[in-house]
A and B are shown apart, each in its own frame.
Chain A
């Protein structure tokens, strides 16, 4: 297993890159979608449709549509970019739902109080509403980060050399199956535990906001 570790860790770097990029992009993208959902009119309808569409179809199919479908229509993306795009599209839907839950948990009186003080919409959201939302969504966001790390393994299906694909290649080339999978399992457990710990620490830091 020691012999395999350098190769697996190289794959793990790609896994971590994908996971972090996806998570950071989703933090912004999901917030936009959630705010669009809480607005009125067509935009809310479109955002709601998007969330339902991605939450009720498998990531793998979205990955295939982007990787194989787009290249057929003329603008092909690399495996990594397709994977990143699919991961963001899928998880953006989940992150939006988390924000929406957070936005709904802020009581209507907070909005009224802000308006009564003559705050503009932007000031109201950035200084009153969103800080409370952020503090409340950290535990579910941590879970989402963990599931993003696990989701990156599916990108192996379009031949991106992340950890899962590296493992497959090693097993195919007759390395010891047990060793490879034990190594992969350990690295995934370390990554997901680390994400969990970071989440706990952030939650602790922001506990004052409650």
Chain B
């Protein structure tokens, strides 16, 4: 056990870093989800120019690494004179990035509903608003829940990238501890274990949702 002494001395510091990781992921996931839903609706119901603009947005986001965008904003923010704390700069970039993937998940949820659901709702004389609210959304969201959760896992993992642009969270905290203790193997394994606990819990929840969504079929 002596080998893991450095980890036992500094686990509290790593936990604080994990708190920051969760805070960052939480702050990004809310706007990403909201924007994702809006973009999915634009994709399904929008007019042609709006849809084309969305296609370009999706193409760009899916083709460029998140790290490039984070680094870009990191160098760009001081140049533009926008007085935004780095934390919020990172949260904005991550939200915009993940919103694109979220929108794909929600769109797939909406589009995988059979046409009969739309026809039935329309033949009952429902307005579009009512139809979406009580027929389409409840079913589409249930279908979209499992892939949504795996996106959340990916988002938690992606927060580790902000350590490269100098923000403090779990990965940065573990790097600091490594510089002090010179025990990279133990400390990074400890950090990996913390990430695993967070992500595995999320993934299990996703599997539970998946099983539950299959019950109705």
Contacts and interface: CB of A to CB of B under 8 A. Distances in A.
A20 interface: no
Contact of B65 (A57, A73, A150, A193): A150
Interface string B187-211: 0110110011001100100000000
A160 interface: no
A52 B163 CA distance: 24
Q: Give the top 10 A-B pairs by smallest Cβ distance, nearest first.
A: A68-B184, A56-B199, A69-B185, A58-B160, A150-B65, A153-B65, A192-B63, A58-B157, A189-B63, A60-B160
A130 B4 CA distance: 44
A182 B85 CA distance: 24
Query: Is the contact region of chain B dominated by helix, strand, or loop, or is it mixed?
Result: helix
Given A58-B158, A68-B178, A181-B72, 4 more contacts: A56-B196, A56-B203, A157-B164, A177-B72
Query: Is the contact region of chain A dominated by helix, strand, or loop, or is it mixed?
Result: helix
Contacts of B203: 52, 55-56
A61 B178 contact: no
B65 A64 contact: no
Interface residues of A, number: 37
Interface of B: 59-60, 62-68, 71-72, 75-76, 79, 153, 157-158, 160-161, 163-164, 171, 174-175, 178, 182-185, 188-189, 191-192, 195-196, 199-200, 203
Contacts of A85: none
Contacts of A26: none
Nearest to A155: B67
Residue among B63, B79, B174, B200 facing the most chain A CB atoms (10 A cut-off): B63
A57 B157 contact: yes
A198 interface: no
